[in-house]
Amino acid sequence: MNMQSLESVDNMFKERRDRSGMILGTRKGIWARADGGGLPPISNAHPVSFSLLVAAALLALSITSGVAKPVEPQTQPREGHALWSHPPDAGTSAESVRQFVAKCKRANIDTIVMDIKGMNGEVYWRSKKFPQAIAKGYESFDMLEHLTREAHAQGIKVDAWLVDFAEGERGAAFREHPEWAMLNPDGTTTATETLGVAKRRYPYVWMCPARRPGYTDQWLLPMIEEIATNYAVDSIHHDYVRYPGDVSPEGYCFCDYCLKHIPRYAMLSYETGSSVRFRVNHIQERIEANWWSDPTMIPLDWNQRDRREMADYILNGRTIPGGPPDMRYYFYEYRVHQIDTFVREVRERVRKINPKIEISAAVFKNPVQSARFIGQRWHEWSRWVDVYMPMTYRSHFAGSFEDYLAHLTEVTGRQLEWTRREQPLFAGIASTYLYREELQPLEDLRERVGELKNLPATEATERADKARAISKSYEALRERLTQFAPQREREIGSLVASVVADGSRAATPEAIDKLAAALVQLRRDLPSGFCPPEKLFRAIEAARQAKPDGIVIFAAGNLTIEKLWPTLETAFKR
């Protein structure tokens, strides 16, 4: 074959490649195609010109198939679209469910992630095992059954979303079994904690994942089994599958069961001859390098210590006398183990009931850090979870909106690295938190009005200070309100003026209540355009830059309040 012929082969190859999308290249001495096909291996021992190799490849193709068939170019998998939703979004009638599903269809939603076990432990299905936990208004309406039927008719999947380990103080589980709750070193539940600078009381009770028998195997797993058995859900969705890091990352759990089993899990002492303690033989120069010689790291008087002393030792003790204060490592690992165990058990039990039901999970943005703070090492769950939905919300980041966009892209990319793309990953975006700049003046105004309401009429100086603060907060809100809802601005402005007049000395409780109610109503029904649609667009595009498998939005109710459903329709247009 002369050089002119070789050039013709080269050109023909390029033309075929450009037309069909087929790419030839060597890997370990084997010719591979983009469509997964192969040709006989060619030795790498002797240098061969590229043109001759091409000629050989085309000759082999012509021999095996007569004519080299064009290969269809590979297409990028379609981006998934999911939406976290709450029962009020679907309502309490067949028609309201139908309308909600139609709205999701118009917004190009593939998966509705519906909350069916809420923060207070209430459930939104016709539970026969736990009728005492059914939410009010849903006793006779099976929302989950209607939702799965309507959604599947529209080609939309339904994930059954459960708040796993949080319960309400008045919820059925804690009311019937207070012994199942997590305890802190003082022996009290998470309901004794406070949040924020204002020290708002925390209203939820977290249940211990470790205790057996207990909440996990007597309540939560049976609930999941009931759903998988009786409903055509496409997935079980984990949320709050962790320890309560928002109130006390170091404080839970120190219930009697955990105080016994944390040392046992790490084998910090022998059960054989439990009253014997051995002195560590310091063979190695570095003290901590002698860790392997003996596991008797729990003090001899362990069982005589009270709860606080035990907790303090687990958090601040030393595994080697004279070594670093590193005992809390076992505390963190124990909690990771308990959450891992639960996630694995859910997979195993659901698979026995219906292998087609998948598992998805709402998780914190950084699995390495969340393992330390909340026991959630989620990037190692690929054996048990089919879809990851990290909550990469703006509220989880410091900085400006522009900073958030950059961080959203970077963190989503890292999440894909952590999971090694072993399972699909949907980037989670919460619409409300995108609008910190727009909503903060309204939140500040509501807080100032609430503070004024709690001041006695005799506190003239303090009331005058609050009046000035209310006026200042309203000025920050007024310009935007005037732009998008001038009539509401006039109404609220009039109420503000009546409350702040004369340093609020003449403000009646009725006037303050009326202003507070107007602000609540404004927050529940924001004017169209008040929340700039371009922010949601830009957040979705920032996540897309990292090439996740999908986008999941929190939440349907927020989109209604913020008038963003049309924005989602456009952003998710196929």
pLDDT band at 296 (very low <50, low <70, confident <90, very high): confident
List Cα–Cα distances, 388 to 48, 238, 410, 544, 550, in angstroms: 47, 10, 17, 16, 10
| Crossing angle for the helix pair 401-419 and 367-374, to the nearest 10 degrees | 90
* Token couple for 67: 């004519």
- Is the pLDDT confidence value at 69 over 90? no
* CB neighbourhood size of 490 (10 A): 12
- Is the pLDDT confidence value at 47 over 70? no
> What is residue 104's predicted lDDT score, i.e. its pLDDT?
98
Listed by start position, the domains of the chain span: 3-65, 80-165+209-249+335-435+545-571, 256-330, 436-524
Q: pLDDT over 70 for what percent of the chain?
A: 86
Question: pTM of the full predicted structure?
Answer: 0.85
pLDDT digits (tens, 9 = 90+) for 368-388: 999 999 999 999 999 999 999
> What is residue 558's predicted lDDT score, i.e. its pLDDT?
98
- Is the pLDDT confidence value at 486 over 60? yes
> What is residue 485's predicted lDDT score, i.e. its pLDDT?
97
Task: Report the C-alpha gap between 291 and 367 in whole angstroms.
Answer: 28
With 0-12 / 13-18 / 19 or more C-beta atoms within 10 angstroms meaning exposed / middle / buried, residue 399 is: exposed
One-letter amino acid identity for 213? P
Task: Report the C-alpha gap between 191 and 178 in whole angstroms.
Answer: 12
- Is the pLDDT confidence value at 17 over 90? no
Instruction: List the single range of 35-44, 123-132, 160-169 with lowest mean pLDDT.
Output: 35-44
pLDDT band at 48 (very low <50, low <70, confident <90, very high): very low
> Which of 343, 332, 169, 113 has its CA nearest to residue 243?
332
pLDDT digits (tens, 9 = 90+) for 372-430: 999 999 999 999 999 999 999 999 999 999 999 999 999 999 999 999 999 999 999 99
> What is residue 289's predicted lDDT score, i.e. its pLDDT?
84
pLDDT digits (tens, 9 = 90+) for 321-367: 788 899 999 999 999 999 999 999 999 999 999 999 999 999 999 99
218: which DSSP letter?
I
Quick one: fold of 80-165+209-249+335-435+545-571? TIM Barrel (3.20.20)
> What is residue 51's predicted lDDT score, i.e. its pLDDT?
47
> What is residue 27's predicted lDDT score, i.e. its pLDDT?
31
**Average model confidence (pLDDT) for the chain?**
88
pLDDT band at 7 (very low <50, low <70, confident <90, very high): very low
Average pLDDT over residues 523-550: 98
Helical (H) or strand (E) element with 239: strand 235-239
Average pLDDT over residues 5-23: 39
pLDDT digits (tens, 9 = 90+) for 133-143: 999 999 999 99
pLDDT digits (tens, 9 = 90+) for 238-275: 999 999 998 899 999 999 999 999 999 999 988 888 88
* CB neighbourhood size of 482 (10 A): 13
| Backbone angle region of 184, left / alpha / beta, with phi > 0 → left and psi within -120 to 50 → alpha | beta
Q: Is the Cα torsion angle 180, 184, 187, 192 positive or negative in sign?
A: negative
pLDDT band at 28 (very low <50, low <70, confident <90, very high): very low
With 0-12 / 13-18 / 19 or more C-beta atoms within 10 angstroms meaning exposed / middle / buried, residue 550 is: buried
- Is the pLDDT confidence value at 162 over 50? yes
> What is residue 25's predicted lDDT score, i.e. its pLDDT?
35
pLDDT digits (tens, 9 = 90+) for 273-295: 888 877 777 788 888 887 877 76
Q: Cis (ω within 30 of 0) for the bond into 213?
A: yes
Of residues 210 and 298, more confidently modeled: 210
Contact of 431 with 553, CB cutoff 8 Å: yes
